């Protein structure tokens, strides 16, 4: 028995046994290090390709549904975009983009107006070819002249509601000085100004127009056909495109994907409208129908509408004779039309 034991000890000497255990420990440690390196590489890759963007909005509005969808349905995340929405007045958004405080804003008309003034801005999406603005009044306003001496709420000077209301006054042969206006900063605030009886009328979009009707107000006139005014899209700076083109490309792709999602998901879109705007099912259905009718197929600016808007601007300020709207657009990052 002793001889067999000695033979086993000779076959596996203590030093070799310790070496075998050390090799095993090294292999385990090497495996752990490989896993750790792979994990760190993956984390670094994700961080490197996460693009942070900030978009300015004046207030809650149905026309921004593509942006709400992109954020709430995870479409931005699909493109490794971390989005933040900042509430600010339309009139200060162009300067905020140029200064780098935000990356984008959404009013195409404000973008054109600022570009005419010389700001280095670029329209990268324009997904509506017409506007759904409606003049909504209290029940005592029965004809345009009833507004004389009264106060009307508008989102702001040189905003779409401002220009549409100016077109309405001109059509009605009313001097603009005969009607007082207040600037609210956005559609939702204009709605509150009307329903709190601070004003007798305002210019709204769905679903606020239907919601106002349910509260006893009335749609006095559709204004969208009175003037050529671009509506909603995505505007950024020349500097953003130059220095962060991949971020811009991904953002454009995400917003265009959200337009497709809206078209393909009626029931979910209507539910979003109900929840976000606190309207009933019928009002939300009407709003969804209006929105889908407004959306174009390719995300490009209608140049006829843009030039009509520039003609409106010429009536109130000098516009450089050599101003070319096509120098203020860049649709090269839009996906192909399906």
Task: Write out the DSSP string of 1-31.
Answer: -HHHHHHHHHHS-HHHHHHHHHHHHHHHHHH
> What are the backbone dihedrals phi and psi of residue 208, each rounded to the nearest 5 degrees, phi first?
-65, -30
183 three-class SS: strand
Supply the pLDDT for residue 280.
94
Q: What's the CA gap between 260 and 69, in Å, rounded?
A: 10
The pLDDT of 171-189, averaged and rounded, is 95
| Confidence tier at 37 by pLDDT (50, 70, 90) | very low
Amino acid 73: pLDDT: 97
**What pLDDT does 22 receive?**
58
Q: How far apart are CA 6 and CA 1, in angstroms?
A: 9
State the pLDDT at residue 307: 93
Q: Classify strands 232-237 and 121-126 as parallel, antiparallel or unpaired.
A: antiparallel
How many residues make up the chain in this entry? 338
Res 7: pLDDT: 37
81-87/51-57 β-pairing: parallel
> How many CB atoms are closer than 10 A to CB 60?
17
Rounded to an integer, what distance in angstroms lies between the CA atom of residue 184 and that of residue 91? 12
Residues 6+ apart with CB under 8 A from 323: 115, 116, 310
Nearest CA to 234 out of 128, 119, 336 is that of 128
In this predicted structure, the answer to whether residue 26 has a pLDDT above a threshold of 70 is no
What local confidence, expressed as pLDDT, does residue 237 receive? 98
What is the distance of C-alpha 279 from the center of its chain? 21
Across the range 43-66, mean pLDDT stands at: 82
Q: Tens digit of pLDDT for each residue in 233-267?
A: 999 999 999 999 999 999 999 999 999 999 999 99
**Degrees, nearest 5: CA angle 221-127-230:** 50
Other CB atoms within 10 A of residue 204 CB: 28
The distance from CA 78 to its chain's CA centroid, rounded to whole angstroms, is 17
**Closest alpha carbon to 89 in 66, 110, 65:** 110
pLDDT value at residue 190: 96
For residue 207, say if its preceding peptide bond is cis, omega within 30 degrees of 0.
Answer: yes
Residue 337: per-residue pLDDT: 73
Pairing of strands 218-222, 232-237: unpaired
What is the mean predicted confidence (pLDDT) over 279-308?
Answer: 94
- Which is it for the CA torsion 151, 154, 156, 157, positive or negative? negative
Q: 117 in helix, strand or coil? A: coil
């Amino acid at each position: 028995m002793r001889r067999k034991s000695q033979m086993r000890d000779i076959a596996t000497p203590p030093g070799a046994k310790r070496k075998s255990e050390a090799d095993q420990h090294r292999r385990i440690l090497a495996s752990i290090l490989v896993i750790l390196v792979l994990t760190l590489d993956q984390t670094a890759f994700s961080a490197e390709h996460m693009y942070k963007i900030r978009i300015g909005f004046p207030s809650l509005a149905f026309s921004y549904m593509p942006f709400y969808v992109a954020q709430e349905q995870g479409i931005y995340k699909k493109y490794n975009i971390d989005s933040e929405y900042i509430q600010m007045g339309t009139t200060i958004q162009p300067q905020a983009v140029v200064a780098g405080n935000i990356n984008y804003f959404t009013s195409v008309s404000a973008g054109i107006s600022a570009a005419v003034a010389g700001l280095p801005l670029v329209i990268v999406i324009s997904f509506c070819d017409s506007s759904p603005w409606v003049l909504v009044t209290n029940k005592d306003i029965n004809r345009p002249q009833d507004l004389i001496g009264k106060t009307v709420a508008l989102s702001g000077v040189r905003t779409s509601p401002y220009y549409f209301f100016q077109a309405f006054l001109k059509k009605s042969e009313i001097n603009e000085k005969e009607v007082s206006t207040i600037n609210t900063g956005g559609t939702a605030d204009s709605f509150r100004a009307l329903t709190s009886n601070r004003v007798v009328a305002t210019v709204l979009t769905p679903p606020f127009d239907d919601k106002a009707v349910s509260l006893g107000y009335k749609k006095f006139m559709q204004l969208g056909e009175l003037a050529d005014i671009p509506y909603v899209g995505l505007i950024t700076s020349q500097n953003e495109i130059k220095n962060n083109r991949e971020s811009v490309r991904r953002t454009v792709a995400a917003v265009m994907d959200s337009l497709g999602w809206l078209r393909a998901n009626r029931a979910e879109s209507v539910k979003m409208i109900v929840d976000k705007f606190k309207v009933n099912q019928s009002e939300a259905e009407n709003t969804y129908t209006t929105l889908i009718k407004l959306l174009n197929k390719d995300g490009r600016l209608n140049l006829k509408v843009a030039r009509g808007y520039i003609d409106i601007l010429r009536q109130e300020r000098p516009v450089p004779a050599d101003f070319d709207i096509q120098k203020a657009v860049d649709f090269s990052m839009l996906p192909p039309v399906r």
